[in-house]
Amino acid sequence: MTAATQLKFDYPHHPTAEGYMTQSIKMKYMEAAIKQRLLPDEAFRIADILSLTAANDPKQPIQFWQLYSVVGQDWIVDLVTRFYRRVFADEVWFKSVFERVGGMNRHVMTQAGMWIDCMGGGQAYHGGEYRLNFHHYHNAMELMNDKGAARWVELMVQTLNEPDIDWTDDPRVRVALNTFLAWFMGKYAADFSFKDAFDSAFGETNGRYKRRINFLKMSEAEIEALRYEELFDALEARRVKVDEDMTKQMLVSKALAL
């Protein structure tokens, strides 16, 4: 993320719209991220998080439902096409499950549509979550296990690491896509009882959202009500010396001393 802080952005690069899945997937991810302390408790009231347009502040993460605003349709279709070339050239036990459903073009169209729909590109995946669940339980069930998931992840990581993919000049794009893939793999692991969630296989994912906090405009009670992570991040942003061995009360004292 250090390199991103040197850059300035002017999003959206592509027009956004809610899809059939955007809102429901966003809400489920946000609920999980709040529990994991990646998003603040009041995330559902923060416009930069809820927006379908990526934040121009390079210090803030791009949420995966904002990816379309940065990369657009062609980029998504290209990446999904690269992935399915690998799938249809793979071992019979794996590729045959996909071949029974349809040819490569059909898979590219439906997978890219699902990604576009989730990433803020509008209604591109008719049927939404019902259709996605039906597909996994009825068409892809043979691969919804540790062996199938491991091979899917392996091919996707190989695709993501192809050297000529244009990740744009915003390093947050790859991290946001990793977050998208990791979240869905974690969801499938829970739904289908994979032994491994595979959610760390893609690389770096979004870290904590760092809410802008101005201690000078807050009362002592408001400062004390902040979470440990919020105090730590806000003090660090003001270049106050802090470390993770400090207690919350120590951080509160530093904030009150400003």
The structural domains of the chain, with segments of one domain joined by +, span 1-210, 215-256
For residues 233 and 207, what is the distance between their CA atoms, to the nearest angstrom? 12
Residue of 12, 128, 116, 19 whose CA lies nearest to 62:
12
**Segment 164-187 mean pLDDT:** 96
1-210 CATH: 1.10.490.10
At 30-46, the pLDDT tens digits run 999 999 989 988 899 99
Which residues sit opposite 121 in a β-bridge? 17
**CB count in 10 Å sphere of residue 117:** 26
State the average pLDDT for the chain. 92
pTM for the model stands at: 0.85
Lowest mean pLDDT among 33-37, 179-183, 225-229: 225-229
pLDDT above 90 coverage of the chain, percent: 72
Going from the C-alpha of 117 to that of each of 17, 22, 38, 60, 241, the distances in angstroms are 9, 6, 23, 23, 43
Whether residue 4 has pLDDT greater than 80: no
Predicted pLDDT of residue 114: 97
Q: What average pLDDT does range 233-241 have in this prediction?
A: 85
Q: Is 53 exposed, middle or buried, given 0-12, 13-18 or 19+ CB atoms closer than 10 A?
A: buried
Q: Is the pLDDT of residue 154 over 70?
A: yes
Going by the DSSP 8-state scheme, the letter that residue 75 receives in this structure is H
What is the rounded distance in angstroms from the CA atom of residue 202 to the CA atom of residue 178? 5
**Residue ranges of the alpha helices (H) in the chain?**
22-35, 47-50, 67-87, 92-101, 104-118, 128-134, 146-160, 172-192, 220-224, 228-237, 248-256
Residue 186, SS3?
helix
Q: What is the pLDDT at residue 5?
A: 47
